[in-house]
Structure 1
Amino acid sequence: MYERVLSPIRIGAVEIPNRIVRTAHATSFSREYINDDLIAYHLERAKGGAGLSIIEGASVHHSSTFALSVRDDGAIAPMRRLVEAIAPTGMKLFQQLWHGGYTDPSASGGLPWAASALPGRYAVAPPVPMTTDQIGELVEAYAKAAVRVEEAGMQGAEILAGNGYLFSQFFSPVLNRRTDIYGGGFENRIRFLLEALRAVRAATSPGFALGMRIGDSSDQRILSARETNAIALRAQAEGLIDFVNITHGDYYFHVDRYAGMDQPVGYQLPFSEDIGKDVTVPRIIVGRYATLDDAEQALKTGAADLINIVRGMIADPMLVVKSREGRGHEVRPCIGCNQGCIGGVFSGRMGCAVNPAVGREASLSDDTIVKTNNSRRVLVVGGGVAGMEAARVALLQGHRVTLVEAMADLGGLLNYARRMPKLHAIGDIAIWLENEIYRLGADVRLSTYMDAADVLAEHPDVVIVATGSQPAEAHEFVQTASPAAQVRIAPDARVLTSLDLITDREKAYGDTAIVVDDVGHYEAIGCCEMLIERGVKVTYVTRHLMFAPAMEATGRTQSALQRFHKAGDFRIVTQAELVSVGKGRAEIKPLFGARTETIDADTVVIVGYRQSQNELWLALRSRVAQLHVVGDALSARDIQPAIREGHLAARSIT
């Protein structure tokens, strides 16, 4: 079925058992040296059938640091522990060698080194332009780092030469403003990379695989696909590389590197084809591939030899094994939200919205769930993602599980959220959870409302309350930044909640609208997009310092804003509050000012914090031996804490 995907391939002297690669991605599980959490994370995916994993970028020099380091010999023993743990699985290991240039500070917290003094996209100060001596120092650092990687037993290394990091800065005719032998013409701008590759080749054995991750800029004026292809061909012609890992995008539009659910599978393929033209060493490509079917189709295009599946195997480590065994329907889907993975790294530690075991595999992976010898009668009230995850884990433990849901369908608020533009994939996790609990034998009762008496009549040993939340009515809206303010709403004003907007069949929004975002998550983005797609002029008003700040780390705000400004008349007003709403208009004012502004608004959509539906939990306290409240019923948030809390509640059954 997966003839191409499951076939082996050689990278240099290293045979990779299949074509699925987990390319380097930051986790922040380890600081400086590889630790137990990082080993457990990669081991789980090795057991799951990945052919090759390229370990997240490790700093080669003190002038730029992020998480891992191969700057000294102290890195060797921890790397060797990873190698020894992975070896029985057959998955091969390469290490990415990294220097961020102007993107990251030095180990001492000082200024980073870069090609020129031009600051990076998110810089707070200009970097230090490297001297020729410092370039030579870094060339030597790359070689020494590769020697340490080989000594630890890894089979290869990858030099990160894309995504806007150090080598990309040297390649760019815009960012590289040097006047010496490392600046100016094409040959000078690629000189540093070639010197580093030659040094690594000379320092390592002939059987050690060496490649590079390389890609163009989001802005082709900064670095084009044509020049990127020329760099790859030059390194190939000199015999310096055994593979090319093709990427696209940089910090000038960083979501290009890891697009969310708004982009289709294979969205990077046009860039991959241009960059990989005439490249004959194995080519790895990326582009939201998350199933073996997607990977098989990509290989059929001829644009790639190996397919990168990172987020898909974050969501389900066993993706390859399950698919190979004909159990593809059991693969937990990546929904492309970027909240736990990309957003988690930028917030301090990677996680996953749909898989609470990420980063805690040693204690929370499904492999650690033990069948009980004392089966309990578990009643889960609420069929959203929190309740279904609780039911799934309890079933895996061998408990007798009944799940009751007041609505006619499982899925909770995701049944509404998935109807927003560019958000359909969020429903995939609800579908998977539903399939799993039925497969595992849950007693599911739909259209069944339960109060405390109904629950007690079931004589459960354990009750997990997952009754979710609902938006507050418009007249109950309390602005977080100004809770004492009373918003005056005229009787003939059209004021909706986000749920009203999604379920409104009339769709008579008029020509203008205001979306008031008190939360800062994706909900308001979806509301804006629904209106913009219908030709409505939208003003986004928020108490926050910026547009949808809770989503900024995911990159999805960038792609949303790009769509909004391209599609229609869209305005952002930050650090503001709503004063009043009348027919066809609304008044707002600055949080720290008194002067009001009247804005045309045929419709006002209020996105506020939802109200937890926790009455059942309150009524059952002290009346049930084991009682848990999870997800929005505890506090209205999003799917990541909901699934995690459902999982942990089931784990805690005694």
Structure 2
Amino acid sequence: MYTKLFEPGNIGSVEIKNRIVMPPMGTSLSSFTGEATDEVIRYYEERAKGGCGLIITEIARIDDETGIGEPGQLSVTSGKYIRKLVQLTEAVHKYDAKIFLQLHHPGRQVTRSLLNGVQPVAPSAIACKVVNEMPRALTTEECDELVKKFITGAAIAQLSDFDGVELHGAHGYLINEFLSPYTNKRSDKYGGDFTKRLTFLTSIVKGIQQVCGPKFSISVRLSADEFLDGGLKIEDTIQISKVLEELGVSAIDVSAGTYESGYAVIEPQFLPEGWKKHLAKAIREQVSIPVIAVNNLKYPKTAELLLEEGVCDFASFGRAFLADAHWPNKAQAHQEELIHKCIGCLQCFKTVFGGKPIECTVNPIVGRELRYNEQTLIKDGANRSVIVVGAGPGGMHAATILAKRGYAVTLVEKEDRLGGTLNTAEQPPAKQMIGELIKTLSCEVKEAGVHVVLNQEATVNWLEQQQPYGIVIACGGNPIIPPIEGVTLPHVVTAEDVLLKKVTIDNQRVVIVGGGVTGLETAEVMANTNEVTVIEMATSVGNALYTSNRMMLLNHLQEAGVSIQTNRMLAQISEKNVLLKETGKEIEHHLPCDMVVLALGVSPRKSFVQEIRQAFDHVMVVGDAHQPGQIVDAMKEANDKAYVFS
């Protein structure tokens, strides 16, 4: 079905079984000293087992003083790391997958706190506008030393049986900073004209070839367009790629952007698949060595089309491998509906950049493959009956896990379809991937043999009649309705009513109460046909979203004319206006409106949970019914509790 995608190919002397590449992504799973842990080894092993052709590891530092890129990062600064790195390459190679180690230095895009108080370094003393940390300019001698450290890192990778290395020359990190006129204002041999700006990179390449031999594969990752005034453009990167080809580099790995144009590096949910394919294609048309390209890919069929179009030689799937380690095998087996697809929420980056191990909203075991796998899934259900109440993400995942453990599972949902709150979440623009998650979770429920009952209210009496061994409560929470005057008036509705189209509101002055994710997305839906104001009692809105998603959503709301008022608390509702109080003050404001939409979140179903606990011995509570949270919280809690339910 995917002829091109599963066709063998070569990068230098390395033969790769298909055209699928897993690009570098930080995980924070390695030790803080830089050693590969059992967790990170199992993480990569699972992707190799899942059918990936080439894995390129997360960033590995080549310098322990100024080169720390993130907590829990691989290091190749010393031979002492070889022992665990060999375990990593062995774990990958046994599935006939190949693995490159990515060599990295953050340059100016790092804070002193991560460098233990040391000032960041860069080609020139120009601060990154995102990090806001002034670096000091490297001396010529220091540049020479860093070149040697990259070469040493490659030698350690080769001794550890990696099939090649990748030099991270993209995303605004050190090598990229030397290449770009935006960040390189030097006048020595490492800066000035186009050729001198390449000296740092070309010196590293030549040194690796001399130490590791000409057949040791080297890939170079480049930001084809930095999307910055005065930065690298595609015309520059084509010329850089030609120079690298002449030097004998094995492949060009095409990406885009820097921290200052972050949406291009880490695509939020608003950007479509293949939006930057023109960049890779332009480079591929000018070089004969293989081109690897990331393109915000979610579906195997999109990668197949890009390969057919000649956009790239190898298709790089990043977050797709976080969402589902086994998607290549599923695609090859024509099981696309069972592939967990990235929804673009960027929870993965939110956790890693926050110093935590990686998480994925749609894959609760990513980074935890050692704890949650086929071997740790105890199959002791003995066909005992378990009823799962509520078919949201937590309920469906819990039902699937319990069925795999051997329980006879019935999934009960009061609505006429599966999905629960996901049916609400998929309604706003750019949220169509939530619909894909509903399909996948539903397919997994069916595949696991779960019995589904729709249009059934699971009351305590009804549950008692079924005489189950155990109950899983996953029925979500109750919408929060504030105890204020006017809240029961007919023109007051909930965000859920709006998103599920239970009410239709057009050409009205609408006040949305609550500036969380639901409130903002409801505003986005309503702004096309209404005059919308969002009020929020806190000082800012949309704080649960990752930065780039939040900023793009706020930009869309601004363009749509949505007014956002913070530090405002709803005090009273009348027929034609709402009374607001400034947070912490006695100042009041009257805001005219025709409709009021409540988006204040949900509260746990404490009374229902208590009734169930009194009636049954084996009860498990997950998701909003237990504690309000995001999809990631419901999926993770359902997974973990289902593994140990008894």
Shorter chain as denominator, the TM-score bin is over 0.9
Q: Residues 218 and 489 of structure 1: is their aligned pair in 2 closer, same or farther, counting only changes over 3 Å?
A: farther
The yes-or-no answer on 1:609 pairing with 2:618 is no
Residue aligning to 1:483: none
Greater alpha carbon shift after TM alignment, 625-634 vs 223-232:
223-232
- Deviation sequence 1:161-219 (CA, Å, 0-9, x none): 11111122223323333343433322232222222222222221222110111012133
The aligned runs of 1:445-594 (5 Å cut-off) are: 445-473=453-481, 475-476=482-483, 489=486, 494-504=491-501, 507-510=504-507, 512-518=509-515, 520=516, 522-534=517-529, 536-553=530-547, 555-565=548-558, 567-581=559-573, 585-586=577-578, 588=580, 590-594=582-586
Whether the 8 Å contact between 1:316 and 1:332 is mirrored in structure 2 is yes
Q: Residues 189 and 511 of structure 1: is their aligned pair in 2 closer, same or farther, counting only changes over 3 Å?
A: farther
Secondary structure of the structure 1 residue equivalent to 2:545: helix
The aligned runs of 1:121-140 (5 Å cut-off) are: 121-140=129-148
Residue aligning to 2:426: 418
Residue aligning to 2:9: 9
Give the AA of the match of 2:599: V
Secondary structure of the structure 2 residue equivalent to 1:577: strand
Residue aligning to 2:238: 229
Q: Normalising to structure 1: TM-score of the pair?
A: 0.91
Q: Residues 37 and 127 of structure 1: is their aligned pair in 2 closer, same or farther, counting only changes over 3 Å?
A: same
The yes-or-no answer on 1:623 pairing with 2:620 is no
Give 1:329 shift. 2.7
Q: In 2, Cα distance between the equivalents of 1:202 and 1:537? A: 66
Whether the 8 Å contact between 1:246 and 1:276 is mirrored in structure 2 is no
The yes-or-no answer on 1:218 pairing with 2:224 is no
Greater alpha carbon shift after TM alignment, 109-118 vs 154-163:
109-118
Q: In 2, Cα distance between the equivalents of 1:230 and 1:501? A: 52
The yes-or-no answer on 1:407 pairing with 2:399 is no
Q: In 2, Cα distance between the equivalents of 1:148 and 1:326? A: 40
Give 1:587 shift. 5.3
Give the AA of the match of 1:385: P
Greater alpha carbon shift after TM alignment, 317-326 vs 176-185:
176-185
Residue aligning to 1:482: none
Give the AA of the match of 2:233: S
Greater alpha carbon shift after TM alignment, 635-644 vs 436-445:
436-445
Residue aligning to 1:30: 30
Structure 1 residue runs without a partner (length 5+): 477-485
Give 1:443 shift. 1.8
Q: Residues 188 and 596 of structure 1: is their aligned pair in 2 closer, same or farther, counting only changes over 3 Å?
A: farther
Give the AA of the match of 2:22: R
Give the AA of the match of 1:607: A
Residue aligning to 1:335: 343
Give 1:599 shift. 5.1
Q: Residues 134 and 546 of structure 1: is their aligned pair in 2 closer, same or farther, counting only changes over 3 Å?
A: farther
The yes-or-no answer on 1:639 pairing with 2:631 is yes
Q: In 2, Cα distance between the equivalents of 1:592 and 1:525? A: 23
Q: Residues 572 and 628 of structure 1: is their aligned pair in 2 closer, same or farther, counting only changes over 3 Å?
A: same
Q: In 2, Cα distance between the equivalents of 1:356 and 1:51? A: 24
Give the AA of the match of 1:453: N
Residue aligning to 1:481: none
Give 1:489 shift. 4.9
1:68 is aligned, of 74, 81, 93, to 74
Whether the 8 Å contact between 1:170 and 1:189 is mirrored in structure 2 is yes
- Deviation sequence 1:112-158 (CA, Å, 0-9, x none): 10122221132243111111111111111101111111111101111
- Deviation sequence 1:475-526 (CA, Å, 0-9, x none): 44xxxxxxxxx6x6598795443113224566435465444435x3x32331
Q: Residues 505 and 349 of structure 1: is their aligned pair in 2 closer, same or farther, counting only changes over 3 Å?
A: same
Whether the 8 Å contact between 1:462 and 1:653 is mirrored in structure 2 is no
Give 1:547 shift. 3.5
Give the AA of the match of 1:169: E
The aligned runs of 1:316-355 (5 Å cut-off) are: 316-339=324-347, 341-347=348-354, 348-355=356-363
Whether the 8 Å contact between 1:387 and 1:646 is mirrored in structure 2 is yes
Greater alpha carbon shift after TM alignment, 25-34 vs 508-517:
508-517
Secondary structure of the structure 1 residue equivalent to 2:4: coil
Secondary structure of the structure 1 residue equivalent to 2:435: helix
The yes-or-no answer on 1:303 pairing with 2:311 is yes
Secondary structure of the structure 1 residue equivalent to 2:329: helix
Secondary structure of the structure 1 residue equivalent to 2:334: coil
Give the AA of the match of 2:583: L
Whether the 8 Å contact between 2:341 and 2:433 is mirrored in structure 1 is no
Greater alpha carbon shift after TM alignment, 241-250 vs 369-378:
369-378
Greater alpha carbon shift after TM alignment, 322-331 vs 209-218:
322-331
- Deviation sequence 1:568-621 (CA, Å, 0-9, x none): 324444444345555665555553555455556554433212122343321122
Secondary structure of the structure 2 residue equivalent to 1:401: strand
Give the AA of the match of 1:282: P
Q: Residues 178 and 598 of structure 1: is their aligned pair in 2 closer, same or farther, counting only changes over 3 Å?
A: farther
Q: In 1, Cα distance between the equivalents of 2:145 and 2:582? A: 52
Q: In 1, Cα distance between the equivalents of 2:469 and 2:367? A: 31
- Deviation sequence 1:350-384 (CA, Å, 0-9, x none): 11111111111122135643433733211111111
1:100 is aligned, of 106, 112, 130, to 106
Whether the 8 Å contact between 2:6 and 2:19 is mirrored in structure 1 is yes
Q: In 1, Cα distance between the equivalents of 2:403 and 2:110? A: 46
Q: In 2, Cα distance between the equivalents of 1:435 and 1:627? A: 25
Whether the 8 Å contact between 1:115 and 1:176 is mirrored in structure 2 is yes
The aligned runs of 1:115-194 (5 Å cut-off) are: 115-194=123-202
Q: In 2, Cα distance between the equivalents of 1:158 and 1:372? A: 46
Structure 2 residue runs without a partner (length 5+): none
Whether the 8 Å contact between 1:260 and 1:336 is mirrored in structure 2 is yes
Q: In 1, Cα distance between the equivalents of 2:260 and 2:510? A: 30
Greater alpha carbon shift after TM alignment, 31-40 vs 187-196:
187-196
- Deviation sequence 1:194-250 (CA, Å, 0-9, x none): 2222222222122211011101213354321221222112211232x1011100122
Give the AA of the match of 1:90: D
Whether the 8 Å contact between 2:206 and 2:247 is mirrored in structure 1 is no
Give 1:98 shift. 0.6
Q: Residues 126 and 383 of structure 1: is their aligned pair in 2 closer, same or farther, counting only changes over 3 Å?
A: same
Q: Residues 441 and 491 of structure 1: is their aligned pair in 2 closer, same or farther, counting only changes over 3 Å?
A: closer
Give the AA of the match of 1:526: E
Greater alpha carbon shift after TM alignment, 225-234 vs 568-577:
568-577
The yes-or-no answer on 1:653 pairing with 2:642 is no
Q: Residues 297 and 135 of structure 1: is their aligned pair in 2 closer, same or farther, counting only changes over 3 Å?
A: same
Q: In 1, Cα distance between the equivalents of 2:538 and 2:75? A: 36
Whether the 8 Å contact between 1:337 and 1:426 is mirrored in structure 2 is no
Q: Residues 112 and 395 of structure 1: is their aligned pair in 2 closer, same or farther, counting only changes over 3 Å?
A: same
Q: Residues 531 and 415 of structure 1: is their aligned pair in 2 closer, same or farther, counting only changes over 3 Å?
A: same
Greater alpha carbon shift after TM alignment, 156-165 vs 182-191:
182-191
Q: Residues 545 and 39 of structure 1: is their aligned pair in 2 closer, same or farther, counting only changes over 3 Å?
A: farther
Q: Residues 91 and 602 of structure 1: is their aligned pair in 2 closer, same or farther, counting only changes over 3 Å?
A: same
1:54 is aligned, of 53, 56, 60, to 56
Q: Residues 11 and 490 of structure 1: is their aligned pair in 2 closer, same or farther, counting only changes over 3 Å?
A: closer
Residue aligning to 2:397: 389
Q: Residues 383 and 190 of structure 1: is their aligned pair in 2 closer, same or farther, counting only changes over 3 Å?
A: same
Give the AA of the match of 1:28: S
State the 4+ residue runs in structure 1 displaced beyond 6 angstroms: 490-493
Q: Residues 224 and 363 of structure 1: is their aligned pair in 2 closer, same or farther, counting only changes over 3 Å?
A: same
Q: Residues 564 and 115 of structure 1: is their aligned pair in 2 closer, same or farther, counting only changes over 3 Å?
A: farther
Q: In 2, Cα distance between the equivalents of 1:120 and 1:571? A: 31
Secondary structure of the structure 2 residue equivalent to 1:270: helix
